[in-house]
Amino acid sequence: MIDGSSKKHRACPNSKNTRRQAIPILYTRGSHYEVGFDMGRTFGSMIRNFRTQCYVLNETFLPLYNTPKGKQIYEETLASVKASFPQYVRELEGVADGAEVDFVHLFLMQMDEILPQNMCPAPKHSSSCGCSSIVLNQKHCAIQRMLQ
């Protein structure tokens, strides 16, 4: 109760599936894997819920992945990302372990349109969609990211 009345706080969710509109903050440190693990453990229910409801993962990416050519493209992409950004892969492995989800599912979502663009004759989307990344190489900067 915020105002001392006996009424239920208006911000309380009406069901267990409704999440408050708040920005969660996680303070952590450690190796790339440990930071990822902490993120996965802290936000695991949100990650699992998103994975379950992710239409493009379930209806496009997983069916394409479950073909020989899809697995080949996945493995080639993973090898390339591991070679160029091994810390990113370790962090994502930590997220998967912390959230108790399959790493393949998380990486497929990060691959975005790589599978469909390499396996389908015509792209399904005429405009780009996805995340934005900004890198500032300055003395007093914090690294921020937005994953959609």
Distance of CA 34 to the CA centre of its chain: 16
Asked if 92 and 106 count as a contact pair (C-beta separation under 8 A), the reply is yes
Q: Given pLDDT bands bounded at 50, 70 and 90, which one contains residue 22?
A: confident
What is the pTM for the complete model shown? 0.69
**66, two tokens:** 């479950």
Q: Taking the C-alpha atoms of 146, 96, 90 and 128 in order, what is their torsion angle to the nearest 10 degrees?
A: -40
Average pLDDT, the chain: 79
| Spatial CA neighbour of 65 closest among 135, 123, 115 | 115
* Least reliable range by pLDDT among 2-6, 13-17, 33-37, 81-85: 2-6
The pLDDT of residue 17 is 56
